[in-house]
Amino acid sequence: METELRIGVFVCHCGINIAGVLNIEDLCRYADTLPNVAMVQANVFTCAQKGTSEIEKVVKEQGLNRVVVAACTPRTHEPIFRACCQEAGINPYFFEMVNIREHCSWVHRHNKVYAQAKARDLIRMAVARASFLEPIGTFSSRVEPKAMVIGAGVAGMTCALAIADQGFEVILLEKEVRMGGLLRHLHKIAPCDVTASKLIGEKVAAAEKDDRVKCFTSARVEEVTGCIGNYVVKFSSGQESYTDKVGVIVVATGGVPLEPVDLFNYDGKRVITQSQLEARLKKGDIEAKSVVMIQCVGARIPERNYCSRICCMVAIKNSLHMKKAVKDAKVFVLFRDIQAYGVENEALFLKAREEGVRFIRYRLDNPPVVEDGRVRIYHPGMGKEVSLPADLVVLSTPIVASSDSEDLSKVLKVPVDENKFFLEAHPKLSPLDFATSGIYLCGNARFPATVREATYQALGAASRASIILSHDTIERVGTVAAVEAELCSGCFVCVKVCPYKVPRMNENGKAEIEPMQCQGCGICVAECPAEAIRFRYASDEQITAACNALHAPQEIRSEN
């Protein structure tokens, strides 16, 4: 026997945010006429302590079994009300939220009549949907207390060491023959003039010494299956193949400086890149009396539209090193905009100017021209073209994503952006997480970063990863898809369409979805030709109910 539906609707004034535009009393009266609604209540601030305790009280007193809150956005407030439902003794997923603030009162302020009608519609749709809500529980699985870090540059090694410091085992993979990444080729690191080889040498030594860190070079990730807490990873190192289990994965695959082929007469001898300049500075093999640096080479152009962020500081740093290395050297930096963010960088920029480094701005539509031994540039201050002496031309090129980032993204089933950098779940709210739980990212793999930033990110990612590793089990909410075996026709459609390759055919010829691995997108649910996959969090019944309620039955839109 099914229990009778008793929906409680709570309409929020949100001070004047909602009540200033919408007639709350009218909404309450209207909600009361809707099917299965047992009671309606208005609150001034539903999310405040008074509001939530009121919901708990009313749910208990009136024996409500579904709660609808018409207030602001579920993206910020849903967790509060779900918790409130749980406190009141009903499943937290017996809750539906209607956004009558962001989606109504705030955006239709000058159209109160229609806003009111819309709010009624939205409440009606939510109540209809609420009638089909299903309880959702949680389930847990064991966590493998081990991490895999892909990439042994400064970010990867910092991250691996930080995870190891917390007492967890780490598999550290490096695709090159040696660990160290880009820093192996650099000279000094701005703004504190740390010697790159020393910094990275210490990290490599620490990683090699630490028993908890298992380093593999010439390594490649072949296959990754499983999910947070329990990834099964297959990788190779040289000729050897390995299979292991890890709880979390960190992507720290770095980037590479763009090679400016066919740009500004680049030849690697007299027209070189900043990294080549650093190699020469490192060797002390430099004599040029007059150096012209060109910024934004191959960056901030239509086909590569981003600013690589670090090249300005690299140029400023190297111009100062040039000044030091060659007495009376002339250094010109031709730039479009200078990116010298932060107090220390700004100070370094100032110092470069004080020491006589000349900065000349150019525009994309009038770029400098590199000729034999000279660079021609329009000087905006002088209002005419000037020709600068150039024993050496140094091109500042952006960091681009490493060539295999796209392949790795497919193995890990995580996204990359249009420039093939790995894409975090949210740039502000979860900058070091992928949308797929249990996989994290840091360093240049994500976006060009300074050594310092890469280090921060690596420590951050290590901390995110350790949160998972430090628990014996991991709990997940069951907002996942599930196959109803008796309806399954065994057609393999779900197996083929799942972006995470989770569904598989079992020995009975029926599809099966491992709940721990399911990410809850609902793609298979919408694709299954037999409609045999259920998704309690957003079921066909719920969506159809909302569609059915789009238009009120027999309601005369008197406002028209």
Partner 1 sequence: MEEILTMVEEFDRILVLGCGGCTTVCCAGGAREVETLATLIRMDRKQKGKPVETLEAVTELQCEPESVKPILEKLANQYDVVLSMACGAGVQTVAQLFPNHNALPALNTLFTGRAEEHGVWTENCLACGDCVLWRTGGICPVTRCAKSLMNGACGGASEGKCEVSKDRPCAWQEIYHALKRLDKLHYLKQEPQVKDWPVHPGKVVREDLREGEATRVD
Partner 2 sequence: MSSFEPLIAVFSCHYCSYAAADLAGSSRIQYPPNIRIIKVPCTGRVSANHILKALERGADGVYVAGCLEGTCHFISGNYKAQKRVQYVKALLSEINIEPERVEMHFMSAAQGSKFAAVAAEMTDVIKELGPSPLNHSRY
- Interacting residues with partner 1 (CB under 8 A): 487, 489-493, 496-497, 528-532
Residue 489 partner contact from partner 2, partner 1, none using kind-dependent CB cut-offs of 5 to 8 Å = partner 1
- Bridge partners (DSSP) listed for residue 169: 146
Least distance from C-beta 109 to partner 2, angstroms?
7
| CB-based burial, 225-237: b 16+ in 10 Å, e otherwise | bbbbbbbebebeb
Closer by beta carbon to partner 2, 101 or else 330: 101
Residue 413 partner contact from partner 1, partner 2, none using kind-dependent CB cut-offs of 5 to 8 Å = partner 2
Closer by beta carbon to partner 2, 467 or else 550: 550
Least distance from C-beta 528 to partner 1, angstroms?
7
Least distance from C-beta 117 to partner 2, angstroms?
7
- CA-closest candidate to residue 295, choices 310, 277, 280, 285: 310
* Cα separation values, 221 from 125, 173, 408, Å: 47, 8, 7
Q: Answer for the pair 125, 9: CB distance below 8 angstroms, yes or no.
A: no
| Ramachandran angles phi, psi of 42, nearest 5° | -105, 145
Residue 380 partner contact from partner 1, partner 2, none using kind-dependent CB cut-offs of 5 to 8 Å = none
Residue 487 partner contact from partner 2, partner 1, none using kind-dependent CB cut-offs of 5 to 8 Å = partner 1
Least distance from C-beta 553 to partner 2, angstroms?
10
Query: Does 121 engage in binding with partner 2 (CB under 8 A)?
Result: yes
Kindly compute the dihedral angle of the four CA atoms of residues 203, 207, 212, 213, in this order, to the nearest 10 degrees: 110
- CA-closest candidate to residue 395, choices 337, 321, 327, 318: 318
Query: Does 473 engage in binding with partner 2 (CB under 8 A)?
Result: no
Least distance from C-beta 128 to partner 1, angstroms?
18
Q: 29-88: which residues touch partner 2 (CB under 8 A)? A: 73-75
Query: Does 110 engage in binding with partner 2 (CB under 8 A)?
Result: yes
Residue 492 partner contact from partner 2, partner 1, none using kind-dependent CB cut-offs of 5 to 8 Å = partner 1
Residues ≥6 apart with Cβ < 8 Å to 227 = 437, 438, 514, 516, 517
Residues ≥6 apart with Cβ < 8 Å to 445 = 151, 155, 251, 252, 253, 254, 255, 401, 402, 405, 421, 422
Residue 114 partner contact from partner 2, partner 1, none using kind-dependent CB cut-offs of 5 to 8 Å = partner 2
123 vs 306: CA distance, rounded Å: 43
User: How do beta strands 330-335 and 358-361 pair?
Assistant: parallel
Stretch that binds partner 2, among 118-126, 199-207, 356-364, 437-445 (CB under 8 A): 118-126
Closer by beta carbon to partner 2, 367 or else 415: 415
471 vs 333: CA distance, rounded Å: 52
Long-range CB pairs of 501-506, under 8 A, 24+ apart, other chains included: 501/225, 501/413
Cβ-based burial of 307 (10 A; exposed 0-12, middle 13-18, buried ≥19): middle
23 vs 29: CA distance, rounded Å: 10
Least distance from C-beta 530 to partner 1, angstroms?
5
Stretch that binds partner 2, among 99-107, 185-193, 244-252, 365-373 (CB under 8 A): 99-107
Residue 122 partner contact from partner 2, partner 1, none using kind-dependent CB cut-offs of 5 to 8 Å = partner 2
Residue 111 partner contact from partner 1, partner 2, none using kind-dependent CB cut-offs of 5 to 8 Å = partner 2
- CA-closest candidate to residue 141, choices 414, 533, 520, 518: 518
Query: Does 560 engage in binding with partner 2 (CB under 8 A)?
Result: yes
272 vs 318: CA distance, rounded Å: 13
> What secondary structure letter does DSSP report for 373?
T
Binding-site member from 5, 59, 115, 451 for partner 2 (CB under 8 A): 115
Query: Does 491 engage in binding with partner 2 (CB under 8 A)?
Result: no
Residues that bind partner 2 (CB under 8 A): 73-75, 99, 101-104, 106-111, 114-115, 117-118, 121-122, 125, 413, 415-418, 423, 425-426, 435, 479, 497, 499-500, 519-523, 525-527, 535, 537-538, 540, 543-544, 546-551, 557, 560
